[in-house]
Structure 1
Amino acid sequence: MNVTGKRALVTGGSSGIGLEIARELLRAGANVAITGRRQDAIDLAVRTLEGLGAISGVSADVATPEGRAQTLDLATRSLGGLDILVNNAGGVRAGRIEAIEEDEIRRMVEVNLTGPILLTRAALPLLRESGDALVVNVSSGIALVGMAFYSPYAAVKAGIAHFGEALRRELDGEGVRVLTVYPTATDTPMMATSGLGRFGGRETASAVAQDVVAAILHNRLEVVRGGPDRHAMIELNRTDPGAVDDALRPTKSATEEAARNHSAL
C-alpha cells in the first residue's frame, strides 16, 4: 500500500507503540488521527507530532460505545474518511488468575478484544468507501506462546489475532485487508510495572512501529517480532508444546514475581 495521502486512525496513539506507529505513518506521508483515554496525553502527542504532517487527536475510550463514536467522528471530521484503522489500544493485568479481580478481567476483554471488534465493525462503511483500506490489529507475542500469569491477557490477544485472520478471509477481494502485529516485550508505559525486563530486555516502540509501517507498505499479512530464538520457540510451541512447558518450568517462580504487580488498565 502506498500510504501517501492515506487517512489513518490509531487508537492508543498517545504513547508507546501507537505513538510511534503514528509517527512512522506521518513520515511515510499519511494524514493521521490518534485517540487515547487522557486528553492531556493526546494534546502532548499531537504537539510532538505536528511538525511531521497533518495530525489530530481526541480523548476517547474505545472500550465504550461513546468512545467508539467519538473515535469515528474524529475520522470523519478531521480526516474526511478512513483508509487505515490501527487497533492498538490495550491494557493488561497480570498475576495468578485467582488474584486478578473480575472487573480487571472484564476490562481486559473490553479494551483488547470487544472494543476493537466493535470499532472495526462500525468503521467498515468508511473503509469500504476507500476501496484500498487496511485494518491493523496489534496483538502480542503472548498470543503465540502463552505465558504463565498472563492467562486472561493471552486469551484476549489470541482472540484479536484470530479475529483479524478470520476477517481477512471474510473481506478478501473487497478492498479491505488486515494486518496482525505480534510485538514481544516492548519498552512502553504499559510495561512500566512489569519486572519481565530481566528475561532478555525489551524492544523499542520505534523498532516495532518501523516494522509495522514496512509491513503496510509491502502488503504483508503479519508482523512477528523477536529474534531467532523467539521464532524457534514459536515454532516449537506449534509442534511440541510440552517441550516449551519443560523449557519454561525453571523460570516459573521468577515469572510470577515479575508479573505480580504488572497492571496497566
Structure 2
Amino acid sequence: MEIRNRRVLITGGSSGIGLALAQVLGLKGAHVAISGRQTGKLDEAIASLRVAGVSAKPILADVATESGRAATLRGVLEAFGGVDVLVNNAGGVRAGRLENTTESEIRAMIEVDLVAPILLTQALLPSLRESGDSAVVNVASGIALIGMPFYTTYAAVKAGLAHFGEALRRELSGEGIHVLTAYPGATETPMMQSSRAGAELGFVREPAIAVADAICSGLEENAFEVIRGGEARAQMIALNRSEPAALDRRFAGMKAALEEAVRDHHAL
C-alpha cells in the first residue's frame, strides 16, 4: 500500500503506539485523524504532532461506547469524506490474579479491546470498500500469542482480536480491503507506566516509534502480521506450540516475582 494521501483513522491516538503511528504515517503524507477520550491529552497530542510536522484531526470520543463510536465515525467522515486505513489501537489492561479482578474491569477490557474494534470496523466497512485499496490494522499484543499468568482476560481479548482480524482478512480476500494484525511486546507507553515488570522478567521495552515504524512497513508491504520481540520472541512462540509445558515451567520459576511486578498494572 502507498501511504501518501491515504485517509487514516487511529483510535487511541493521543498517546503511545497510536500517537507514534500518527506521526510516522503523517510524515509519509497520510491524512490522519486520531481519537481519544480526554480533551487535554488529545490537545497535547495534536500539538506534538504539529511540532513534528504533522497536521492531524482530533476526535474526542470513547470508542468503547456506542455514542463514542458514532462520534468517531461522524468525525472522520466529516473531516475526510471516507477512510482508507482504520487502525484499531485503543486498548486497556488490568493485570493481576483473575479472582482479584472485578467484573467491571473484565467487562471494560472486553469492550475496549474487542467489542469496539469489531463494531467500529463493521461501521466503516462501506467506506473502506468504497476506497478500493484500504486496510484494517488491529493492534493486538504479544500476549495474544503467548498467554502470560496474571493477564488472563487481556490475553483472551487480544487473542480474540487477532483471530477476528485473521477471519476478516479471509472474508474480505479479493475485495480490496487488507487486514494486518500487530503484536507489540512491552512498549514504552503510558499504558505500561504502572507495571514494574522489567527485562529480568522478559519485559524488554522498546520505544513506541519503533513499533509504529514496523506497522507502517507492514502496511506498505501488505503483510499479514507484525510481531515484535525479535528472535527471542519467535523462539518462545515456537516453543509455546511445540512444547507448552516448557514455558509453563519457565513461568512457574518467575511466578511470584511476576505477580508482584504486575499487580498494580492498570490502564482502563
Q: TM-score, normalised by structure 2?
A: 0.97
The alignment partner of 1:58 has SS state of strand
User: What amino acid is the match of 2:135?
Assistant: L
Separation (CA, whole Å) in 2 of partners of 1:124 and 1:238: 34
Does the 8 Å CA contact 2:182/2:215 hold for their aligned counterparts?
yes
Q: Deviations over 1:135-191 (max 9, x none)?
A: 000000000000000000000000000000000000000111100000001110000
Aligned position for 1:248: 251
Q: Quick one: distance in 2 between partners of 1:137 and 1:123? A: 14
Distance 1:114 1:186 in 2: 23
Structure 1 residue 240: Cα displacement: 1.1
**For 1:12-43, what per-residue CA distance to the aligned partner results, in whole angstroms no more than 9, with x for missing partners?**
00000000010000011100000011011111
Following superposition, the deviation at residue 255 of structure 1 comes to: 0.7
2:105 equivalent to 1:110: no
Structure 1 residue aligned with 2:5: 5
Quick check: 1:228 aligned with 2:231? yes
Secondary structure at 1:196 match in 2: coil
Residue 73 of structure 1: how far off its partner (Å): 1.1
Q: Determine the structure 2 residue equivalent to 1:31.
A: 31
CA RMSD of aligned residues (A): 0.9
- Tell me the distance in 1 between the aligned counterparts of 2:16 and 2:31: 19
Amino acid at match of 2:100: A
Distance apart, 1:197 and its partner CA: 2.0
Matches within 5 A, 1:6-21: 6-21=6-21
Q: Match for 1:164: what amino acid? A: G
Name stretches of at least 5 consecutive residues in structure 1 with no aligned partner.
Answer: none
- Name the SS of the counterpart of 1:72 in structure 2: helix
Per-residue CA deviations over 1:37-68 (Å, capped at 9, x if unaligned) read 10111111111112524411121111101110
Letter in 1 for 2:14: S
Residues 117-156 of structure 1: pairs in structure 2 closer than 5 A: 117-156=118-157
- Equivalent-residue separation in structure 1 for 2:54 and 2:213 (angstroms): 17
Shift of 1:218: 1.0
4+ residue runs over 3 A deviation: none
Task: Tell me the distance in 2 between the aligned counterparts of 1:97 and 1:127.
Answer: 38
How far apart in 1 are the matches of 2:49 and 2:188?
19
**2-side partners of 1:46 and 1:213: how far apart?**
20
Equivalent residue letter for 1:161: A
Work out whether residues 32 and 79 of structure 1, in 8 Å CA contact, stay in contact via their aligned partners in 2.
Answer: no
The count of corresponding residues between Structure 1 and Structure 2 is: 265
Render the CA deviation track for 1:68-98: whole Å, top value 9, x for unaligned. 0111112111122100000000000010000
The percent identity for this pair of structures is: 57
Gaps of 5+ in 2: none
Q: SS of the counterpart of 2:5?
A: coil
Distance between the aligned counterparts of 1:254 and 1:79, measured in 2? 48
The amino acid across from 1:252 in the alignment is K
**In 2, are the aligned partners of 1:187 and 1:202 still within 8 Å (CA)?**
yes
User: After alignment, is 35-44 or 136-145 more displaced?
Assistant: 35-44
* TM-score normalised by length of structure 1: 0.98
